[in-house]
Amino acid sequence: METYIAANINKIRQRIAAAAARVNRVPDSIKLLAVTKTVSPSAIAQALDAGVTMLGENYVQEAKEKIAVMEKRVQWHMIGHLQTNKAKYAVNLFDYIHSVDRPELAEEINKRARLAGRKINILIEVNVSGEKTKNGIPAIRSVDLIKNISPLENVSIKGLMTMAPYSDNPEKSRPYFSELKNLQKKIIQEGITGILMEELSMGMTDDFEIAIEEGATIVRIGRAIFGERK
């Protein structure tokens, strides 16, 4: 019997496919990242049974507790703000860190990853909207940040991440997603050694279809899978 969570995931995959078709993209080029903040391990297990392979957490401690009890091997993504002093834990927990927005954090991740014998995939978090309440580096400074940290041997810069301002109208997110896509193109044109810019992590429950139309390769979905947070 299909669970409520599995049914939600199937609906989201259908919406992903429809959004991709509207702009002549292949649906498989868009990855579904299930956001599991405050979600119980039993609910996460249902998502895994429904085919989810990528999980996103906002806090190191909460992720540590869940990873310890989850039996299935999946990709774990750190999508929340990461304090520099938590990097030593993050490199042992996560496969991707989406929220790198300053050189000292990248350098600490690199240092800790080297000590752990790992290479960590990172995304550069860009504050496209300029909102003071949001983390992320201003778009105008992002190219310099990438150039400065590109020589680090134990981090692999895979792309960019952003959050659009909250709005009841998903269409209002479009300019911010479009700007991130344009920034990706600009960085690619810079030809920075070792930087491929494969991923655009953008779009959440309320606006992920718009994000897909503008080029998202990772959409971060929580509420539409698991329901409202308790």
* Dihedral in degrees, nearest 10, Cα atoms 159, 165, 168, 172: -70
pLDDT attached to residue 73: 79
**In angstroms, what CA-CA distances link 32 with 106, 177, 184, 224?**
25, 17, 20, 12
pLDDT at 228: 83
CA distances from 199 to 32, 48, 125, 215 (A): 12, 22, 12, 9
Please report the pLDDT score of residue 2 as a whole number.
67
Below-50 pLDDT ranges, the chain? none
User: CATH for 4-226?
Assistant: 3.20.20.10
pLDDT in tens, 27-76: 999 999 999 999 999 999 999 999 999 999 999 999 999 999 886 679 99
How high is the pLDDT of residue 196?
A: 85
pLDDT for position 32? 98
What is the distance between the alpha carbons of residues 37 and 226, in angstroms, rounded to a whole number?
A: 10
Measured CA to CA, the distance from residue 159 to residue 175 in angstroms comes to 19
